[in-house]
Amino acid sequence: MSVDSLLQTPAPLAGPLTLIHGKDEAPGWWRSAVIYQVYPRSFRDLNGDGIGDIAGITAELPQLADLDVDAVWLSPFYRSPQRDAGYDVSDYCDVDPLFGTLTDFDVMIAEANRLHLRVIVDLVPNHCSDQHVAFQAALAATPGSPERDMFIFRDGSGASGEEPPNNWASHFGGPAWTRIMEPDGTPGQWYLHLFDSSQPDFNWDNQGVHEEFERVLRFWLDRGVSGFRVDVAHALVKAPGLPDWGGRADGGSSDGYPGHEAPMFGQPALHAIYRKWRQILESYGPDRILCAEANVDPLPRLADWVRQDEMHQAFNFPYLHAGLDVHRLRGVITDSLLTLDAVGAPSTWVLSNHDVVRHASRFGYNGPGPRDGDGIGVWDHQPDEALGRRRAAAASMFMLGLPGGAYLYQGEELGLPDGIDIPDGQRQDPTFARTGGARLGRDGCRVPLPWSAEEPHNGFGNGQEPWLPQPESFKQLARDAQAASPTSHLNLYRRMLSTRRELRLGAGSLSWLERYCTGSSLAYLNGSTLVVMNLNHEPLDLPAGRVLLRSGSATPASDQPVADLGHRLGSNETVWMKINFEDAES
């Protein structure tokens, strides 16, 4: 790979180019991979109990192979009381009966292998469920015991320990500490939980915790997984003494990023843990990967996570948070490529996941939309669905042209919006209960997928009602309805992914084409492919060249039929073009 920092090159194409990143020649499938996130509860319900299952994933893997993704990442399916949709694990080495059995898992891996799809699983090392045997043992033991030392127990403050040990808050609202009853029935110590009170944090100063997770890694590697997405990878180690924190008490900040110096995030001792894990993965060969869910800012700090002997990838949350702000997008892309290139790591790009409002809904607002993790309710200002889907197609096409890896969230290939009309009693995200309903939480982006317009529950399952209600629009957005329509969102995704693979865009280069980087448009060259995104309300004249794909073909703007535009790019539209350099110069 050759990356030389910002470089002005002579104008080959109607104006100056700014080279940011050269072609990526390094080996490693993940460097340019498209990884599709499966949220098992909501993917496909084969046994009809209203909740997705592993057999349902196996049944639909051919659809994902057909979409032409490289790998799937599965959110947790481990044994769990499901207080945080499986991110509260009570047994890391078993499948929850809700989703199936270990045999179902093995069958799924075999099918994935047959289809040349890799499978990545979610590892949740910061906390477990309060039903985990280790935590139950800690509750039954005494203060200062080895069992308690697996977790973060402290005496309370105040005259009789009636106040929490420090001022940290839970990400889901309320304090990050809960007081227990000691086995003798008296009020006792407090334990730390950065998330729900049913999710006690492990004590990563204890070697026993390290050994336990090394065992878990090997368990799934032995079963054939290609790697792990590591949940809240920035939070495992806490600052010595657990000092009060003067910033937002859950360590976050108003722009959605963790406070840089927060004592519960980004501690230096984390890196030794990931180096050890990398060695374990490499003992299984060069193809197994670690991806950090590390909400770290600024970007140079994220680069520390993906040094050659640490993780392979980290999610690029600054990219997700940049939305459709062209200045922020350009800044994040430039900074990501430059800082990650400096440590030899590829960037990743992402627009949606199970924790944020889907981008088809976020982009349906002119002006500020919902805050992360807050969801949209029936009484809120509503997004414009058609506009949101059109912009989502434009944003996805812009993202999928970028060099590096990309993460897709199930259903974004269908242009699905968030579920909005969800009765309070059906909301399951702990954020909703812990904030007394003030924050709706993340259920809206977790609504079960529509597979087939004419089947019960849009083909999610043909038994009980899905665990969350599907919006009306899911019928027309069902996969089979879209598969039959050449101009659908789904078929646009198929064409984007196959063209991306054919042109090797993920391993390509990036130069900004200055002439099209305006206050409302952005353009880059990746090899000889030009990507232009127009967020203006006016069409944009395109340079000479051959149009490969345009996002507006899936969702035409009502006043601008695609065919009439010719070499003009519609409002809220992205195009991929092959540039004929000689024509362009003249």
Q: Catalytic residue positions?
A: 231, 293
Closer by beta carbon to ligand NOJ, 98 or else 394? 98
Q: Report the C-alpha gap between 446 and 444 in whole angstroms.
A: 5
Among ligand NOJ, Ca ion, none, what does residue 355 contact (CB within 5–8 Å per kind)? ligand NOJ
Q: Note whether 410 and 354 are within 8 A (CB).
A: no
Closer by beta carbon to Ca ion, 86 or else 508? 86
Closer by beta carbon to Ca ion, 16 or else 463? 463
Q: Report the C-alpha gap between 579 and 586 in whole angstroms.
A: 13
Least distance between ligand NOJ and beta carbon 128 (Å): 10
In one letter, which amino acid is 206?
N
* Helix then strand then coil, % of the chain, to nearest 5: 30, 15, 50
Least distance between ligand NOJ and beta carbon 87 (Å): 3
Q: Note whether 134 and 89 are within 8 A (CB).
A: no
Q: Note whether 526 and 573 are within 8 A (CB).
A: no
Closer by beta carbon to ligand NOJ, 70 or else 84? 84
In one letter, which amino acid is 301?
R
For 446, counting Cβ atoms within 10 Å of its Cβ (0-12 exposed, 13-18 middle, 19+ buried), the class is buried
User: Of all residues in this chain, which one has the CB nearest to ligand NOJ in the complex?
Assistant: 87
Give kind and range of the element (H or E) at residue 54.
helix 54-67
Among ligand NOJ, Ca ion, none, what does residue 169 contact (CB within 5–8 Å per kind)? none
Stretch that binds Ca ion, among 42-50, 214-222, 274-282, 492-500 (CB under 5 A): 42-50
Near ligand NOJ in 247-306, by CB under 6 A: 293
Count residues binding ligand NOJ (CB under 6 A): 9
Among Ca ion, ligand NOJ, none, what does residue 231 contact (CB within 5–8 Å per kind)? ligand NOJ
Near ligand NOJ in 181-200, by CB under 6 A: 195
In one letter, which amino acid is 117?
L
The residue behind tokens 């002997």 is 309
Least distance between ligand NOJ and beta carbon 77 (Å): 14
Among ligand NOJ, Ca ion, none, what does residue 51 contact (CB within 5–8 Å per kind)? Ca ion
Near ligand NOJ in 152-181, by CB under 6 A: none
Q: Note whether 461 and 45 are within 8 A (CB).
A: yes
| Contact pick of 150, 232, 357, 497 for ligand NOJ (by CB under 6 A) | 232
Q: Show the tokens assigned to 483.
A: 């598969």
Interaction mask 45-74, Ca ion, x per CB under 5 A = x-x-x-x-x---------------------
Among ligand NOJ, Ca ion, none, what does residue 235 contact (CB within 5–8 Å per kind)? none
Helices (H) and strands (E) in the chain, counts: 15, 22
Report CA-CA distances (Å) from 478 to 67, 388, 448, 472, 483.
Answer: 15, 17, 11, 11, 9
Alpha helices in 190-325 (DSSP H): 207-222, 270-282, 299-303, 317-322
Q: Is 87 in the site for ligand NOJ (CB under 6 A)?
A: yes
Give kind and range of the element (H or E) at residue 331.
helix 326-342
337 phi/psi in degrees, rounded to 5? -65, -45
Closer by beta carbon to ligand NOJ, 293 or else 335? 293
Q: Show the tokens assigned to 356.
A: 């944020």
In one letter, which amino acid is 244?
D
| Contact pick of 3, 20, 74, 124 for ligand NOJ (by CB under 6 A) | 124
| Contact pick of 24, 45, 84, 374 for ligand NOJ (by CB under 6 A) | 84
Least distance between ligand NOJ and beta carbon 550 (Å): 33
Least distance between ligand NOJ and beta carbon 200 (Å): 12
Least distance between ligand NOJ and beta carbon 352 (Å): 12
Interaction site with ligand NOJ (CB under 6 A): 84, 87, 124, 195, 231-232, 293, 354-355
Q: Which residues bind Ca ion (CB under 5 A)?
A: 45, 47, 49, 51, 53
